[in-house]
Amino acid sequence: MDKLRAVEAISGADLVSAQFACEMDSRDSLAHLRSEFVVPKVNQVGGKSGTDNGDKECIYMCGNSLGLQPKRARRVVCEELDEWAHKGVTGHFRHAQQRPWVSYREPVVAKMAPIVGAKPAEVGVMNSLTTNIHLMLAAFYRPTAQRYKVLIEGKAFPSDHYAVESQIRWHELPANAMLLAEPRPGEHTLRTNDILDLIAREGASIAVVMLSGVQYYTGQAFEIARITAAAQASGCVVGWDLAHAAGNVPLHLHDWNVDFACWCTYKYMNSGPGGIAGFFVHERHTDNSDLRRLLGWWSHDQRTRFDMTNEFVPSPGAAGFELSNTPILTSAALLGALQAFELAPLQRLHQKSVLLTTYLEHLLLARVGSHIQIITPQKHRGAQLSLLFASEHVFTRVFDALTRAGVVCDERKPNCIRIAPVPLYNSFSDVWQCVDTIYSAVAH
């Protein structure tokens, strides 16, 4: 907030004015990154504001659900289609761009590892998020008579809940093997100390702690380092679902000593709808022969993989957890998307993200504060703010107005709207126009 106030003082533009948003955009050293993305037009996303602005770019505030298409993703996918057309099967070993398909994972994980704070050898790319959660739990969830519970959020994303629930049933364990962390009565978010207290009380019975890096509904960013250390001190394995965290908040998975993590790549990493997922296994586990990991051909050491001996030799690192050959077209989209992250230091992207979300919060409170409750914690969050409206009627009126104006965000009924300005492609003017649309809807 201090930086915003400083610009207000220097420029003379009122912080809640459209002029101030333009002033911030003019000072944004990362503004050029927007040109790396394809921004849909208002009339393409269902906007109905008339022909005057139907051909203008929409206000896209939904990177927490699906990121915009990077132009580089299209280019890299087209390059792979050309390789397939011109090389056929030989593209596995000979590639015009020096990306032979047989080792395609390597440039992908090399670019993704810094974003999650890992060594490349600790990162893998395969499948989708929930499939990878199941594969990680197959290796790391080893219940005993005394230690058999899995701790998750009471309001975890349904897929996580179902995955853990089905793992418990598969092991033929009682329903109380799922331990739920709930907010205090009347609160929307979990307090870190309450999570730590729960682990301290139940730790001897917990096999795995698996929480979200950023909670999908509230936007709360969990204190991964503190929770991981406390759970491991109680003898628990700790995994994280980073679907809403990867590419959004600073992560240091290796340094935080996280056991495993999984994430999708189509939100803040912009790999495209249903894009291939990523995972992390700390290096201290990757060569552990005691882990009951599930195996496939691609788990085998690439140096002898094509010898076809059926005598398994694991690939070193996270690669030893991958099952099948890398899906090239979805990985190509991810590879192109990750190239955008190399155009600016991650720290500067995070700094802009903090500014955008702080600005969004200030405008919301200043202009429509009496109509909303922001349930996302101020100190622990990423790009997303989650707004609760006093009634379903107001919520519906606001969301319909946003849709008509070509402002893309998402709803969680009965009364929550999630807004996520993304530093790679959103501007301060985007934020101002989004809030102005909400203001118009509630004021009239």
Kindly compute the dihedral angle of the four CA atoms of residues 375, 381, 386, 388, in this order, to the nearest 10 degrees.
Answer: 10
User: Would the CA dihedral through 343, 345, 349, 352 be positive or negative?
Assistant: negative
CB neighbours of 420 closer than 8 A, spacing ≥ 6? 61, 62, 63, 64, 65, 219, 382, 383, 384, 385, 409
| pLDDT tens string 105-129 | 999 999 999 999 999 999 999 999 9
Lowest-confidence region among 115-119, 124-128, 206-210, 314-318: 314-318
Residue 245 is predicted with a pLDDT of 98
Mean pLDDT in residue range 26-52? 88
Q: Is the pLDDT of residue 345 over 70?
A: yes
172 burial via Cβ count (<10 Å: 0-12, 13-18, 19+): exposed
| pLDDT tens string 179-196 | 999 999 999 999 999 999
Residue 50 is predicted with a pLDDT of 57
d(CA 163, CA 137): 9
Identify the CA nearest to 342 among candidates 72, 66, 24, 25.
72
Q: Residue 321 — pLDDT band, cuts 50, 70, 90?
A: very high
199 burial via Cβ count (<10 Å: 0-12, 13-18, 19+): buried
What count of other Cβ atoms lies within 10 Å of the Cβ of residue 60? 24
Looking up tokens 């349904």 gives 158
pTM (2 d.p.): 0.95
Q: Which two tokens stand for residue 8?
A: 């207000």
Q: Is the pLDDT of residue 52 over 80?
A: no
Residue 55 is predicted with a pLDDT of 85
Q: Residue 294 — pLDDT band, cuts 50, 70, 90?
A: very high
d(CA 40, CA 406): 9
Identify the CA nearest to 113 among candidates 245, 288, 246, 240.
246
Identify the CA nearest to 228 among candidates 252, 248, 249, 204.
252
Q: Are 75 and 336 in contact (CB under 8 A)?
A: yes
Q: Is the pLDDT of residue 267 over 60?
A: yes
Q: Is the pLDDT of residue 49 over 90?
A: no
Residue 48 is predicted with a pLDDT of 73
